[in-house]
């Protein structure tokens, strides 16, 4: 228990969790304020979230999860009696569950979109975690951020349904897009928990 507590403290898990919760709260508050002012730029006339919200709100949470996997005490951690992968997995899974709960609650303020929020959170978090062993946790935001910008730009410009590689912009019931997002998340959790971050080789194994 002490090792787990120190592990989470070294990664400032509490602050990361607070930032993730704040994303959902602030987005919901902004949406409510705009609706009250009859200037609802964030929603369609039907009241459902736009592609902008469906992509970039989950993206913001995914970036925090990726960057939040950074830990400065790799050498000390490796001398602990408990192996690191379970600690890493518990840490990331906890942040992911918190983000999923926040986005699910956020979706209640809109008319729909919960499934798309969760799908995009899973896939974009997977991209961030895949980048963790490659670029280091502190730069893991670059891959999902670049992809999110490209996917939104290409998907918004597409006439009709976007191509499969632009899965964040696909319909929420698209089975292939859901499968891609889950596969990315599984791959990201695997590599980031087994290998860890490469920030300055502090956690390199």
Q: Which residues contact 103 (CB under 8 A, 6 or more apart)?
A: 24, 57, 58, 61, 114, 117, 118, 121
Mean pLDDT over all residues of the chain? 82
% the chain with pLDDT above 90: 42
Structure tokens at 45: 């006339």
Confidence grade of residue 77 (pLDDT, cut at 50, 70, 90): low
> Cα torsion at 193, 179, 63, 20 (round to 10°)?
-100
Query: What are 34-60's pLDDT values in tens digits?
Result: 777 655 555 555 566 788 899 999 999
Query: What are 141-151's pLDDT values in tens digits?
Result: 999 999 999 99
Beta bridge partners of 139: none
Number of domains in the chain: 1
**Of residues 203 and 139, more confidently modeled:** 139
Confidence grade of residue 200 (pLDDT, cut at 50, 70, 90): very low
Provide the 8-state DSSP code for 197: -
Residue 169 sits in which domain range? 2-201
Q: How many residues does the chain have?
A: 205
């Amino acid at each position: 228990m002490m090792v787990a507590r120190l592990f989470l403290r070294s990664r400032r898990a509490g602050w990361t969790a607070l930032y993730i919760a704040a994303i959902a709260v602030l987005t919901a508050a902004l949406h409510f304020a705009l609706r009250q002012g009859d200037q609802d730029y964030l929603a369609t006339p039907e009241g459902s979230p736009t592609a902008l919200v469906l992509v970039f709100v989950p993206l913001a949470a995914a970036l925090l999860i990726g960057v939040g996997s950074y830990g400065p005490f790799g050498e000390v951690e490796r001398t602990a009696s408990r192996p690191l992968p379970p600690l890493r997995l518990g840490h990331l899974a906890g942040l992911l569950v918190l983000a999923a709960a926040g986005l699910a609650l956020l979706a209640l303020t809109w008319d729909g979109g919960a499934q798309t929020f969760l799908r995009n959170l899973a896939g974009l978090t997977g991209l961030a975690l895949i980048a963790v062993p490659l670029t280091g946790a502190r730069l893991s935001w670059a891959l999902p951020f670049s992809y999110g910008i490209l996917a939104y730009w290409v998907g918004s410009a597409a006439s009709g349904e976007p191509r499969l590689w632009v899965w964040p912009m696909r319909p929420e019931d698209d089975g292939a897009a859901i499968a891609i997002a889950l596969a990315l998340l599984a791959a990201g959790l695997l590599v980031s928990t087994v290998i860890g971050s490469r920030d300055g080789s502090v956690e390199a194994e």
